[in-house]
């Protein structure tokens, strides 16, 4: 069996938010880090921003997870049958209501988190909000994994 076949046999988990600049990337990186190779971890946006927020990159780097090579991608990429995820986890309310219909059977979960990109204040206050959201996402993923990661 080739590595590609083994890779394709793993459940695909897609984290979805509107801009695909912060929360979905943090969740993608955290699932990959916490679950090892159990899943293919992905992220996308319903209206991608075109960038990954630098403070998300920094917050994840603080815990040893690299997002530097991540790119903001559109949900459209995952609508073809060969790329359809097994599970879509929306991490913001707007993405949950604007999520397209996928071909086939796709499970859905909704974990809403505040968008740290909209927080104002000093650089340190903004960094702290990114850390807080990162920690909330990590807790949600850890709970889901400890409950059997069902979908």
Which residues are known catalytic residues? 17, 92, 99
Cα separation, 127 vs 58, in Å, equals 8
State how far the Cα of 120 lies from the Cα of 27, in Å rounded to an integer: 22
**How far is the C-alpha of 47 from the C-alpha of 31, rounded, in Å?**
22
Runs of H (alpha helix) within 37-99: 54-61, 93-97
Under 8 Å CB-to-CB from 123, ≥6 apart: which residues? none
Q: Given the structure tokens 């702290």, which residue do they identify?
A: 128
Strand partners, 45: 17, 74
C-alpha 58/C-alpha 68 separation (Å) is 9
**Nearest Cα residue to 138 out of 32, 52, 27:** 27
């Amino acid at each position: 069996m080739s590595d590609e076949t083994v890779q394709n046999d793993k459940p695909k988990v897609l984290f979805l938010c509107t801009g695909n600049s912060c929360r979905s990337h943090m969740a993608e990186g955290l699932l990959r880090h916490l679950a090892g190779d159990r899943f293919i971890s992905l992220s996308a946006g319903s209206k991608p921003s075109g960038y990954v927020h630098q403070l998300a990159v920094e917050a994840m780097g603080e815990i040893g997870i690299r997002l530097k090579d991540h790119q903001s991608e559109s949900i459209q990429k995952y609508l073809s049958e060969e790329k359809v995820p097994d599970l879509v986890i929306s991490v913001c309310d707007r993405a949950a209501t604007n999520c397209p219909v996928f071909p086939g059977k796709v499970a859905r979960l909704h974990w809403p988190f505040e968008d740290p990109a909209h927080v104002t204040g000093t650089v340190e206050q903004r960094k702290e909000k990114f850390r807080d959201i990162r920690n909330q996402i990590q807790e949600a993923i850890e709970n889901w994994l400890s409950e059997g990661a069902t979908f």
